[in-house]
Amino acid sequence: MTCGLQSAAVIGYCQRWDTSPDGPITCSRRVNPLPLFSESSAQPGRRMESLPEAVLIQILASIPAVELVLVCRLVCCQWKNLVDGAALWILKCQQEGFTGAEPEEEAENWQTFYFLSKRKRNLIKNPCGEEDLEHWGEVENGGDGWKIEDLPGDFGKEFPSDGVHKYFVTSYEWCRKSQVIDLRAEGYWEELLDTTQPKIVVKDWYAGRSDAGCLYQLHVKLLSEHEDVLAEYQSDTVAIPQDNAADWSELSHTFSDYGPGARFVRFEHGGQDTLFWKGWYGVRMTNSSVMVEP
């Protein structure tokens, strides 16, 4: 069967692929192929192999990425080579704004770069307290415990970017909370995590009140399926003095080359005030994030 006839047969399949960025690549239904035309009725002018490669790449780039990998790649050797090559995925990255017209970065694998860029999002749920303490576990409520307040708060400052309206605030004894992220449940498959080992970027924002001193700490672990620690980052305990400027500061750490087996990220942060005043005079935290990046 020619490349053109094979492509017609593939297009005739009735398929529904799970292309959600929140889940792995799967095929949920497939029925028998129904060719759009038979070999006897084929016209030479309709054969895809007669198209210039640049034109064929443009056509393939309009097809959803999952179907390119799971369907189009099986059509013929020419299509397999195009789907496995860089040019098609660079074009798809450009079309969706993942890279510029002249790519500044040189990706080792542009197909992987595309899928990681497509799935890139904050994996921390409820990072700013809009849902109270929902999704946060192992909560330690020292002093008067955690509280959620509206920005800028008493003796505070507005957050430096739009879209953040609340923050978590600690009390006069140590307050901690944590969140565990299941990377496979978020759509990152084992081969990707073990072989490519994409960067896992952790960020957190913290600030004090201008009238009170406080302490802050961030602790993040990469865990195996059996919760063995594969990589770990623990910040120094940050001491913010009384009569500070109440500015928001960002703390960031990137995990890379962490070895095979990473399946979970455990994110924990906490703090307290240093004056032991009753109420909520401790460190403020918001806009926490964990992202898997290309």
Domains of the chain, first to last: 49-117 (1.20.1280.50), 137-292 (2.60.120.260)
When pLDDT is averaged across residues 271-292 and rounded to a whole number, the result is 97
Cis amide prior to 160 (ω within 30 degrees): no
Three-class secondary structure of residue 245 per DSSP: coil
Decide if pLDDT at 204 tops 70.
yes
User: What's the confidence (pLDDT) of residue 48?
Assistant: 63
Measure the CA–CA gap between 128 and 180, rounded to whole angstroms.
Answer: 16
Helix count (H) and strand count (E) of the chain? 7, 13
The DSSP annotation for 166-223 comes to EEEE--SS-EEEEEEEETTTTT--HHIIIII--EEEEEEEEE--TTS-EEEEEEEEEE
Decide if pLDDT at 182 tops 90.
yes
When pLDDT is averaged across residues 257-265 and rounded to a whole number, the result is 97
User: What's the confidence (pLDDT) of residue 107?
Assistant: 73
Decide if pLDDT at 213 tops 80.
yes
Measure the CA–CA gap between 278 and 60, rounded to whole angstroms.
Answer: 63
- Residue with token string 């004090």: 208
Share of the chain above pLDDT 90, in %: 74
What pTM did the predictor assign?
A: 0.80
User: What is the CA 167 to chain-centroid distance, rounded?
Assistant: 22
- pLDDT tens per residue across span 97-145: 998 777 666 777 899 999 999 999 999 999 999 999 999 998 999 999 9
User: What's the confidence (pLDDT) of residue 52?
Assistant: 87
User: What's the confidence (pLDDT) of residue 99?
Assistant: 84
Average confidence score pLDDT of the chain: 86
- Find which of 12-16, 75-79, 110-114, 220-224 is predicted with most confidence, using mean pLDDT: 220-224
Residue 215 · residue 240 · CB < 8 Å = yes
Measure the CA–CA gap between 233 and 215, rounded to whole angstroms.
Answer: 18
Confidence of residue 47 (pLDDT cuts 50, 70, 90): low
Decide if pLDDT at 10 tops 50.
no
- pLDDT tens per residue across span 139-150: 999 999 999 999
